[in-house]
Structure formats: structure tokens, C-alpha cells
Amino acid sequence: MPRAKKTNKRKSKARKPATKKSGARASRERQGPIVVYFWPTPNGLKITVMLEECGLPYIVKPVNIGKGAQFESQFLEISPNNRIPAIVDPNGPGGSAISVFESGAILQYLGRKTGKFYPADERKRVRVDEWLHWQMGGLGPMAGQAHHFRLYAPEKIPYAINRYTIECRRLYGIMNQRLAKREFLCDALSIADFACLGWARRWERQGQDISEFPHLKRWLDTLQARPATARGLAVTAEEYGKVDISTDKDAWKLLFTQGART
């Protein structure tokens, strides 16, 4: 696990300044960087990886989900589902600020904004959308349930543990087959890869044996060796790791027993 950083600000790799700033560029600099409401979970790390890979400047605002920060009114205005990540882009469409919640929607937004890792060609974009939604509806939820029943459930339920461990294995097999014939999930590196990375790199927590999936392992190694991706994965928060969800009853209740807000 990367060590907590002394500052919550992260800057993308510096670029050589142009000899003369355009009006649009000067306006972006005045409006400031993207603000990322973040906690270092698989979903949160999708966004920092994308921002680093795109070279976009950003500021991290930690949302300590173990202390209930996700239920604060200011955050709920941005993310009504009380889940991280969310972003505020001060230079949104038309030059005015926009907030975006849900990690898949954020990745798509940043892809459209930058023209990177989200192809403009409709046939290629459909493929990326397929694998992005495969992660959002399959790999993420199933791996999350595996984490819960293997690590956080107050009682060990063999059926639940086996159910989600086996389902993760099935999903890993699909990825492995897909990657047997291509370097990345959709041939070129895309937001679909960034979406899957945070979950797949936690294969041990899901009870998987990565040696069963050599093409998936190669893909993981390739992505994590990219300098920008490594920087994105290294983003953390000062308070992260100070709460053990499996033993802290207050944190456990915050994360797993919230009912409807009326």
C-alpha cells in the first residue's frame, strides 16, 4: 500500500509552456484544476489514473467514507448517491462549472473532454462502452461482494463466499480470454482498462489465483508499469488505513447498514 501523502494536491506532469497562451488556455488556468472527491478505493483510483494519463491538473478532496463524510450535505449536492468518486470541473461545457458523479460517467466525460482513451469512431466507442459497462455491472459489483463476504461480513457464510469467489473467477476468465488476442480490452488503451484495473489488481482479496490467468496478469503488469497509471494508483489520503472496517463497528455501520434517506 502506498504511503499517505503529506498533501492532497496532485499535479500532472508539467508541460513546456507555449510561446503565447491562447485565450482558451488562459481561461482554463484562471478557472483552476478539476476537483476530485476521492477515497483510495478501486472506483476512486479509476479517476486519478485517468486524470494522470490525460495530463489534466487536479486537486484531491478526500471523502473519508469510514467517518461518514459521504453523507455531508455539500458532498450530497454533487453525489446524491453518497458514493465516491465525484468531480467538479470548473471548465465544463460552455466554459462553466459542471459536477459529475458515478465513476463510469466521469471516465466518459473526461474521455469526451480530452479526446483521449475514448474513441470518436462510433464502432470503436461501442466496444469501449461494452467493456466499461461490463465492469460497472459485473466485475465491480461481484468483486465488491467477494470483498464483503470474505473480509467484512460479521459472520462467515460459506455459500456467499463461494458464490462471489466463483463468479469473480468466471469474470477473470472472460477477461483472460479477451486479452489473449489483444494488448488491451478494446485493442487500444481505453477507459475500459482504467475501469477494470482497480478491481483486478485486488485479485488476492477476491480469492483468485492470478497464475490461472496469464493474459490478465500480463495486462495488469503492462498497465501498472505505465508511469502515469502508477502515479494515479499511488494517490491516497492521510486518514486512509487508520480505520479497520472489519473491526470498527461505527465504520462498519456507516458503510453497510444505511437505509433510505427520506
154, with CB counted inside 10 A (0-12, 13-18, 19+), is exposed
Same domain, 237 and 112: yes
pTM for this predicted structure: 0.85
Same domain, 210 and 237: no
According to the model, what pLDDT value does residue 67 have? 85
Q: Cα-atom radius of gyration of the chain, to the nearest Å?
A: 19
Is 59 strand, coil or helix? strand
The alpha carbon dihedral of 152, 153, 155, 156 has a sign of negative
Give the pLDDT band (50/70/90) at residue 261: confident
Main-chain phi, psi angles of 39, to 5 degrees: -145, 145
Q: How many CB atoms lie within 10 A of CB 211?
A: 7
* Residue 89 counted as domain residue: yes
Q: In which domain, by residue range, is 86 found?
A: 9-116+233-256
Residue tagged 457464510 (cell numbers): 157
Decide if pLDDT at 233 tops 90: yes
18, with CB counted inside 10 A (0-12, 13-18, 19+), is exposed
Question: What residues contact residue 153 under an 8 Å CB cut-off, 6+ apart?
Answer: 160
Give the pLDDT band (50/70/90) at residue 193: very high
Do residues 87 and 46 lie in contact, with contact meaning Cβ atoms separated by under 8 Å?
A: no
Same domain, 211 and 248: no
Same domain, 25 and 92: yes
**Residue 226 vs residues 53, 109, 195: alpha-carbon distances, Å:** 9, 22, 15
Same domain, 69 and 55: yes
State the total domains in the chain. 2
Mean pLDDT of 152-173: 96
* Residue 15 counted as domain residue: yes
Do residues 35 and 88 lie in contact, with contact meaning Cβ atoms separated by under 8 Å?
A: yes
User: In one letter, which amino acid is 223?
Assistant: L
Q: What is the CATH number of the domain that holds 31?
A: 3.40.30.10
% of residues, the chain, pLDDT over 90: 75
Main-chain phi, psi angles of 229, to 5 degrees: -65, -40
Q: What is the CATH number of the domain that holds 185?
A: 1.20.1050.10
Give the pLDDT band (50/70/90) at residue 203: very high
Same domain, 53 and 74: yes
Residue ranges of the alpha helices (H) in the chain? 23-31, 42-54, 73-78, 103-114, 122-134, 140-147, 158-179, 191-200, 214-224, 227-234, 249-256
DSSP one-letter code for 187 = B
Same domain, 17 and 106: yes
Is 38 strand, coil or helix? strand
Helix (H) or strand (E) holding 89: strand 86-89
* Residue 208 counted as domain residue: yes
* Residue 3 counted as domain residue: no
Rounded to the nearest integer, the mean pLDDT of the chain is 88
Same domain, 180 and 133: yes
* Residue 127 counted as domain residue: yes
Same domain, 180 and 50: no
* Residue 4 counted as domain residue: no
Give the pLDDT band (50/70/90) at residue 248: confident
Same domain, 130 and 110: no
Do residues 58 and 51 lie in contact, with contact meaning Cβ atoms separated by under 8 Å?
A: yes
Q: What is the rounded distance in angstroms from the CA atom of residue 206 to the CA atom of residue 198? A: 13
Q: C-alpha grid cell for residue 40?
A: 483510495
* Residue 73 counted as domain residue: yes
